[in-house]
Amino acid sequence: MNLSPARKVFQGVADRRQMFRMFDRHTQRPNRFEGNDSALYRGEWFEIGQAEHDYMLAVLPPLWMRGGMFSMREFLTGSITSIFFTLSIDGRVRYFHGYCDLAAKASPALMRDAIIERESRPVRAMTREERLEHIWSSTHDAYRGYADGRFPSAQHGQRIVMMCASWQARDFKLLDELSDAEISAKLPVDLRYLPERQAA
């Protein structure tokens, strides 16, 4: 999996249930407690509502607050923690969650700038990576996982999703190897026909 520095992992505004699911989108990963998985989370972000933002602000006193953002006191892994943003984009106040590496002092500001750049475009569009990340984020745990003994050893640990060719034909396929038609079939209708955006 090739991870970009800042990447949108869910299209639309996540409600509270979706927000909590996405806080650990990688909970099923193999060897979860055996290493530093900072690279897996670093740079992930998605939009939330004001109620979800305010709820998280009230959970614990933040580690810090400044310039329309605050940091959670608890760290997910290594120096990665949740940063919550309040941003004015095109004259509208919006709220976001992102995972930043506080070992890099500029990480929250870079994340903020990446979100503003991504969300300020006049035409809605999605990259292939954003389509795949949305599929991963919105697929129930029972229908996604990580490649195991059913796959060649070189593919072990890569993300997989269930494909249903028909009522009786169900199998898992590597997420990164989905065809354009398979990606389209797994996206909700409102996202299916958005134009393709080239990755920055």
User: What residues contact residue 71 under an 8 Å CB cut-off, 6+ apart?
Assistant: 62, 63, 64, 65, 81, 82, 83, 84, 100, 102, 108
pLDDT in tens, 117-170: 999 875 677 888 999 999 999 988 888 889 888 888 898 888 999 887 555 556
Lowest mean pLDDT among 89-98, 100-109, 121-130: 121-130
Rounded-to-integer distance, Cα 124 and Cα 9, Å: 15
Q: What angle do CA 7, 126, 18 make, to 5 degrees?
A: 60
Report whether pLDDT(34) > 90: no
Q: Are 52 and 14 contacting, i.e. CB atoms less than 8 angstroms apart?
A: yes
Packing angle, helices 16-23 and 50-59, rounded to 10: 60
Specify the pTM. Answer: 0.83
Comparing CA positions, the residue from 14, 5, 200 lying closest to residue 97 is 14
Domain boundaries, the chain: 7-119, 128-192
Comparing CA positions, the residue from 23, 137, 159 lying closest to residue 82 is 23
pLDDT in tens, 40-79: 888 999 999 999 999 999 988 899 999 899 999 888 888 8
